[in-house]
C-alpha cells in the first residue's frame, strides 16, 4: 500500500479511537460540570454575534439573488418558500458548521496545543486529574450541544434578513412572508437538518481536540494545530454532510423530492 | 462562574425557544395540533396524489391525506383516507365531491373537496365521499390536439370550396366581359340592334306598313273591316242573344223546384231540432264554466297569503326545507349518539354499525344479520361466476341476470336500503376460502353498485369462507348470499 494512503488510514484510525474514548469518558465520573458550562459559554454565546450577523446578511443576499431569477418566471410569490427551504435544509446547518469550525475549532486546537507546549497538561496530570476527561471531553460535548442551537439562530436570523430584503423590494407583510415561507415545509425539512449539526459539532470537537492534545512541537506546533483543526474539520463536515443527507433521505423519503 | 451560568442559560433557552417556534409554525401549516375528522374517497386514477398531500375543502387548506390503500384488482379503486379540520366539517355534506387537483402546471397535487349543498345531510365521519376522476394534463393535451386537427380539416375543406366558388365567379366575369365586348363590336342580335343602320331602316318601313293596315280596317276593307261595318252580321248576333234569354228562363224554372225541396225540409223541423241541440250544448258549457269558476275560487282561497303575508307555495317550500334541515340534524345527532359510549350498545343491538369493522365470526352471531326473517337470496357460485381468461373468476351473463332478478324482486326498497353481500367459497383451503369468498363479494358489489347506481355506503360485504350463519337452512354454501335486513324493509 502507498505510504501516503497508509498514513491517511492510520490518521483516521487514531482520530476515531480518540473520539470513541471521549464518548466513553463522557459517561464516567467525575462529570466536569463547570468545565462544560465554561466551554458552552465560550463556544456558543461568544459565537452568537458572528452566526447571527452572517445569517442575517446571507438571508438578505439570498433573497436578492433568488428574487431576480424568480421574478423572470413570474414566481415572485415563491421567494419566501425558496429562501426558507434553502436556509433551513442546507445553508443554515452547513454555514454554521463551517463558521464554528473556524472560530471554535481553531480556538480549541490552539489552547490545547499551547497547554501541551507549556507543559500545563503534564501539570494537571501530576495533580492526578485525568487531563483528557478534564480538557477534551467538555470541549467536544460543548460543540455537540452548541451547534444545533447556533444553527437555529442562523436559520431564523437568515429568515429575518430575507424578510427585510423582500419587504424593501415588494412591501410584503411579515405574516404573509412567514405563511409562504413555511407553506411547503414538512418535519423532514426542519428537524433532521437541525439535528445533523450535532454530528458536525462532534467532528469539530474531536478533530480540533486531537490536533491540540497530541502536538509535541513546542510553539511551532500551536500554529500548526490551529490550522489543521480548521482545515480538517471543515473538510470532514462537508464529507459527513453528504453521508448524513443520504441517510436523511433514506429515513424521510418525501424530503428527497 | 455564576455569570457564565446565566450566559449559557440564556443561550440554551433562546435556542430552544427558536426550535419550539419552528415546530409550531410548521405544525400549524401541517395542522398537526388541531382536531380532525376522517373521511374516505375512492379513485381509479390517483394522478400522483401521495400520502401527506394537502386536502382543501371549498378551496381552504383543511388537512392532509393520511393513507392510500392500493386496490388488489382493477375492479376496485384506490381508497384514500383524508383528514379534515373539524372547523370545516360543516361544509362536507353527503353530496360533496372529492377531486384531485394540481397547483398550476408544475405544482403539487392536492385533494379538493367541494362544499356540499345546504339540504344534504352532513357526511358521517369515516364515510366515503363521492369522487370525480381527475383530468390529467396529458388527456387535455390529447383533446387539444384532436380539436386542432379537426379545425385544420375544416379549414382545408372550406379552402377547397372557396377555391371552387372563386373559379366560378372568375369564369362568369370573363363571360360577361366577352358578351360586353361582342355587343360593342355589333356581333349577335342585340349587337346588331345597337350598330346596324340598315336594320333601323327596315324597322321604320315595318312601322309605316302597320299604319297602312290600320287605315284599311277603318275603311271596312278585308274580313276584319267587314266585321266592323256589315249590317247583316249585326242581325245574326241579335238572334243569338234571344236564344240566350230562353235558356235563362229555363234556369229560373229549375230554381223554383229547388225552392220547393228546401221548404219540404223546413216542414220536417230539422233546423228547429238543430237549434234545440245547440241550446243544450250551450247549457252544458255554462255549467262547466260555473264549475271552473268555483274551482278557481277554491284554489285562490287555498293559495291566499297567510297571516304573515306568505303564499301557500312559499309556506310549503319552507316547511319542506325545515323538514330537510331537521332530518339532517337528526342524522347528525344519531351519528353522535352512535359514538357515545352510553348508547353504543343500544345502537349495536339495533344494527347501526359499520359492517367493514365487523369480523365474519361476529357477523354470524349478530342478531340482526342472522335473523331468519331477513330477505335472503342464495345464489350458487357455479351459476354466478365463470373463469376469465386470466384464471380469475368473473361474473357470467347468467349470473348478472340472477343478481338483477334477486335485487329487483324487492323493487325500490332494495335500492334505498342497506344490502349485505355475503361471499362464500366451497373449497377446503382456509386461505383460499378467505381470499376467494371476499373476491366474490367484491365482484358482486362492484356489479350491483355500477348497475343499479347504489350508494356505496349502503353496500356491505362480508367474506364468510364457507359457513353461513346458523339455522338458516344451509350448513355450507359455495357462492353468494344477498341479504336485505328486515329492519330495512
Whether residue A240 contacts residue A233, with contact meaning beta carbons closer than 8 Å, is answered with no
Residues of A in contact with B7 (CB under 8 A): 41, 45
A138 to chain B: which residues are within 8 Å by CB? none
Q: A3 — alpha (psi -120 to 50), left (phi > 0) or beta?
A: alpha
What ranges do the domains of chain B cover? 1-30, 34-130, 351-488
Q: How is residue B367 annotated by DSSP?
A: T
pLDDT digits (tens, 9 = 90+) for B353-363: 566 667 888 88
Q: Where are the alpha helices (DSSP H) in B115-230?
A: 137-185, 188-195, 197-218, 222-229
pLDDT in tens, B246-304: 777 777 777 777 777 777 767 777 667 778 888 888 888 888 888 888 888 887 777 67
Burial class (CB in 10 A: 0-12, 13-18, 19+), B355: middle
Average pLDDT of the residues in B427-435: 84
B460: which strand partners? B420
In chain B, which among 359-398 make CB contacts under 8 A with chain A?
none
* pLDDT value of residue A249: 86
With H, G, I as helix, E, B as strand and everything else as coil, classify residue B33.
coil
Q: Quick one: closest CA in A to B29, which residue? A: A183
CA-derived radius of gyration, chain B: 48
Q: How far is A186 from chain B (nearest CA, A)?
A: 7
Cis peptide bond N-terminal to B364, omega within 30: no
For A149, which of B11, B21, B26 is closest by C-beta distance?
B11
What are the E-state strand segments in A100-161? none
C-alpha torsion sign, points B93, A179, A95, A97:
negative
Reduced to 3 states (helix: H, G, I; strand: E, B; else coil), residue B351 is coil
pLDDT score, position A255:
61
Q: Which residues of chain B are within 8 Å of residue A88 when distances are taken between CB atoms?
A: 22
Pure H helices in B304-393: 312-339, 341-350, 360-365, 381-384
Q: B366 — phi, psi (to 5°)?
A: -70, 135
Q: How far is B29 from chain A (nearest CA, A)?
A: 6
Question: Reduced to 3 states, what is the DSSP secondary structure of residue A201?
Answer: helix
Band of residue B489 on the pLDDT scale cut at 50, 70, 90: very low
d(CA A57, CA A54): 5
Q: Is B4 on the interface with A (CB under 8 A)?
A: yes
CA dist B129 → A16, B112, B239, B408, B444 (Å): 58, 11, 107, 26, 21
Per-residue pLDDT band at B466 (split at 50, 70, 90): confident
Lowest mean pLDDT, pick from A198-207, B80-89, B340-349? B340-349
B385 three-class SS: strand
Note whether B24 contacts A: Cβ–Cβ < 8 A.
Answer: no
Q: Which range has the worst mean pLDDT, B244-248, B304-308, B467-471?
A: B304-308
The CA distance from B125 to B324, in Å, is 20
The answer to whether the Cβ–Cβ distance between B29 and A150 falls below 8 Å is: no
Query: Average pLDDT for residues B188-217, to the nearest whole number?
Result: 76
Locus of grid cell 388537512: B63
> What per-residue confidence (pLDDT) applies to B295?
86
Q: Are B38 and A73 in contact (CB under 8 A)?
A: no
**Cβ within 8 Å, pair A254-B16:** no
Q: C-alpha dihedral over B382, B385, B389, B390, to 10 degrees?
A: -100
pLDDT tens by residue, B13-70: 999 999 999 888 888 777 667 788 899 999 988 888 888 788 899 988 888 888 899 9
Residue A45 with chain B: CB contacts under 8 Å = 7-8, 10-11
Task: Considering only residues B184 and B488, tell me which one the structure prediction assigns the higher pLDDT.
Answer: B184
Find chain A residues with C-beta within 8 A of B108's C-beta: 184
B19 neighbourhood in chain A, CB within 8 Å: 152, 194
pLDDT band of residue B8 (cuts 50, 70, 90) is confident
**Could you give the percent of chain B with pLDDT greater than 90?**
6
The verdict on B22 touching A (C-beta cutoff 8 Å) is yes
Compute the distance between CA of residue B276 and CA of residue B263 in angstroms, rounded to an integer. 20
A127-151 pLDDT, tens per residue?
A: 988 888 889 999 999 999 999 999 9
B136: nearest Cα among B98, B97, B101? B101
pLDDT 10s digits, B141-196: 888 889 999 999 999 999 888 888 889 888 988 888 887 787 777 676 666 666 67
SS3 label, residue B272: helix
Grid cell locating B295: 274551482
Higher pLDDT, residue B173 or B136: B173
pLDDT grade, residue B80 (50/70/90)? Answer: very high
Can you read off the three cell numbers belonging to residue B35?
382536531
Strand B109-113 with B419-423, pairing: unpaired
Which cell numbers hold the place of B34? 388541531
Residue A186 C-beta-side C-alpha neighbours within 13 Å: 14
| Percentage of residues of chain B with pLDDT beyond 70 | 85
Q: Do A187 and B7 touch (CB under 8 A)?
A: no
Q: Is B1 close to A178, i.e. CB distance below 8 A? A: no
From residue B226, how far is each of B231, B236, B241 by CA, in Å? Answer: 9, 14, 21
**For the packed helices B231-267 and B270-303, what is the interaxial angle rounded to 10 degrees?**
70
Comparing CB atoms, the residue among B26, B50, B51 nearest residue A182 is B26
Residues A187/A84, Cβ–Cβ less than 8 Å? no
The predicted structure's pLDDT at residue B228: 64
Cell of A239: 464529507
In chain A, what are the domain boundaries?
Answer: 33-256
pLDDT at B94: 86
Kindly give, in sequence order, each residue whose CB lies less than 8 Å from that of residue A134, ignoring residues fewer than 6 positions away. Answer: A32, A35, A124
The answer to whether B6 faces chain A, any CB pair under 8 Å, is no
Low-confidence ranges of chain A (pLDDT < 50): none
Put simply, the answer to whether A153 touches B21 (Cβ < 8 Å) is no
Provide the pLDDT confidence category of residue B105 given band limits of 50, 70 and 90: low
User: Which chain B residues contact residue A145 at CB under 8 A?
Assistant: 12
Buried b / exposed e across A204-240, counting CB within 10 Å, b at 16+?
Answer: bbbbbbbbbbebeeeeebbeebbebbbebbbebbeeb
Chain B nearest CA to A234, separation (Å): 23
| Higher-confidence position of A92 and B349 | A92
**Which residues of A lie closer than 8 Å to B, measured between beta carbons?**
34, 37-38, 40-41, 44-45, 48, 88, 145-146, 148-150, 152-153, 155-156, 178-179, 182-187, 189-190, 194, 254
Indicate the residue of A45, A156, A185 with minimum beta-carbon distance to B26: A185
Reading the block at residue A111, the C-alpha cell is 489552547
What fold characterizes domain B351-488?
A: 60s Ribosomal Protein L30; Chain: A; (3.30.1330)
Amino acid at each position: 500500500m502507498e505510504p501516503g494512503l497508509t498514513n491517511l488510514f492510520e490518521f483516521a484510525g487514531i482520530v476515531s479511537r480518540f473520539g470513541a474514548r471521549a464518548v466513553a469518558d463522557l459517561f464516567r465520573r467525575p462529570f466536569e460540570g463547570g468545565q462544560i458550562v465554561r466551554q458552552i459559554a465560550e463556544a456558543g454565546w461568544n459565537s452568537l454575534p458572528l452566526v447571527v450577523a452572517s445569517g442575517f446578511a446571507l438571508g438578505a443576499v439570498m433573497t436578492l439573488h433568488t428574487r431576480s431569477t424568480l421574478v423572470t418566471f413570474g414566481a415572485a410569490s415563491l421567494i419566501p418558500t425558496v429562501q426558507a427551504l434553502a436556509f433551513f435544509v442546507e445553508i443554515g446547518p452547513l454555514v454554521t458548521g463551517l463558521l464554528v469550525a473556524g472560530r471554535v475549532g481553531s480556538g480549541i486546537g490552539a489552547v490545547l496545543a499551547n497547554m501541551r507546549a507549556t507543559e500545563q497538561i503534564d501539570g494537571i496530570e501530576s495533580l492526578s486529574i485525568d487531563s483528557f476527561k478534564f480538557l477534551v471531553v467538555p470541549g467536544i460535548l460543548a460543540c455537540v450541544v452548541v451547534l444545533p442551537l447556533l444553527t437555529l439562530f442562523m436559520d431564523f436570523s437568515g429568515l429575518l434578513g430575507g424578510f427585510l430584503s423582500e419587504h424593501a423590494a415588494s412591501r410584503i407583510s411579515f405574516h404573509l412572508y412567514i405563511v409562504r415561507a413555511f407553506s411547503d415545509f414538512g418535519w423532514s425539512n426542519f428537524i433532521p437538518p437541525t439535528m445533523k449539526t450535532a454530528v458536525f459539532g462532534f467532528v469539530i470537537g474531536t478533530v480540533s481536540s486531537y490536533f491540540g492534545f497530541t502536538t509535541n512541537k513546542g510553539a511551532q506546533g500551536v500554529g500548526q494545530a490551529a490550522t489543521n483543526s480548521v482545515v480538517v474539520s471543515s473538510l470532514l463536515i462537508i464529507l459527513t454532510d453528504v453521508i448524513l443527507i443520504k441517510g436523511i433521505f433514506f429515513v424521510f423519503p418525501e424530503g428527497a423530492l | 462562574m455564576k455569570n457564565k451560568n446565566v450566559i449559557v442559560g440564556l443561550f440554551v433557552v433562546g435556542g430552544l425557544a427558536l426550535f419550539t417556534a419552528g415546530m409550531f409554525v410548521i405544525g400549524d401549516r401541517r395542522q398537526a395540533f388541531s382536531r380532525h375528522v376522517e373521511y374516505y374517497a375512492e379513485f381509479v386514477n390517483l394522478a400522483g396524489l401521495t400520502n401527506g398531500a394537502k386536502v382543501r375543502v371549498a378551496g381552504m387548506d383543511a388537512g392532509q391525506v393520511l393513507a392510500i390503500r392500493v386496490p388488489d384488482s382493477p375492479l376496485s379503486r384506490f381508497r384514500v383516507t383524508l383528514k379534515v379540520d373539524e372547523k370545516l366539517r360543516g361544509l362536507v355534506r353527503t353530496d360533496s365531491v372529492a377531486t384531485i387537483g394540481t397547483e398550476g402546471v408544475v405544482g403539487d397535487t392536492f385533494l379538493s373537496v367541494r362544499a356540499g349543498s345546504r339540504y344534504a345531510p352532513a357526511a358521517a365521519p369515516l364515510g366515503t365521499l363521492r369522487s370525480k376522476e381527475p383530468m390529467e394534463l396529458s388527456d387535455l393535451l390529447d383533446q387539444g390536439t384532436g380539436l386542432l386537427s379537426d379545425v385544420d380539416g375544416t379549414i382545408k375543406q372550406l379552402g377547397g370550396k372557396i377555391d371552387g366558388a372563386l373559379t366560378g365567379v372568375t369564369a362568369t366575369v370573363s363571360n360577361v366581359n366577352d358578351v360586353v365586348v361582342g355587343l360593342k363590336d355589333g356581333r349577335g342580335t342585340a349587337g346588331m340592334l345597337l350598330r346596324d343602320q340598315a336594320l333601323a331602316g327596315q324597322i321604320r318601313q315595318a312601322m309605316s306598313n302597320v299604319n297602312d293596315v290600320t287605315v284599311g280596317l277603318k275603311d271596312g276593307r278585308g274580313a276584319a273591316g267587314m266585321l266592323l261595318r256589315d249590317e247583316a252580321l249585326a242581325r245574326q248576333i241579335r238572334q243569338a242573344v234571344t236564344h240566350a234569354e230562353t235558356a235563362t228562363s229555363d234556369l229560373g224554372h229549375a230554381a223554383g223546384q229547388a225552392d220547393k225541396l228546401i221548404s219540404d225540409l223546413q216542414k220536417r223541423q230539422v233546423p228547429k231540432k238543430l237549434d234545440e241541440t245547440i241550446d243544450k250544448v250551450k247549457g252544458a258549457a255554462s255549467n262547466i264554466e260555473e264549475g271552473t269558476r268555483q274551482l278557481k275560487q277554491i284554489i285562490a282561497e287555498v293559495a291566499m297569503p297567510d297571516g304573515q303575508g306568505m303564499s301557500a307555495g312559499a309556506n310549503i317550500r319552507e316547511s319542506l326545507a325545515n323538514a330537510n334541515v331537521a332530518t339532517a340534524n337528526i342524522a347528525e345527532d344519531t351519528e353522535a349518539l352512535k359514538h357515545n359510549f352510553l348508547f353504543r350498545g343500544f345502537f349495536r343491538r339495533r344494527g347501526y354499525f359499520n359492517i367493514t369493522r365487523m369480523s365474519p365470526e361476529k357477523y354470524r352471531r349478530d342478531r340482526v344479520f342472522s335473523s331468519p326473517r331477513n330477505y335472503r337470496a342464495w345464489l350458487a357460485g357455479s351459476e354466478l361466476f365463470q373463469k376469465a381468461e386470466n384464471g380469475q373468476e368473473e361474473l357470467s351473463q347468467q349470473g348478472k341476470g340472477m343478481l338483477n332478478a334477486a335485487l329487483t324482486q324487492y323493487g325500490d326498497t332494495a335500492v334505498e336500503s342497506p344490502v349485505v353481500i355475503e361471499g362464500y367459497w366451497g373449497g377446503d383451503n382456509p386461505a383460499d376460502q378467505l381470499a376467494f369468498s371476499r373476491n366474490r363479494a367484491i365482484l358482486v358489489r362492484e356489479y350491483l353498485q355500477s348497475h343499479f347506481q347504489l350508494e356505496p355506503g349502503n353496500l356491505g360485504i362480508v367474506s364468510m369462507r364457507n359457513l353461513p350463519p346458523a339455522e338458516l337452512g344451509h350448513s355450507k354454501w359455495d357462492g353468494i348470499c344477498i341479504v336485505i335486513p328486515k329492519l330495512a324493509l
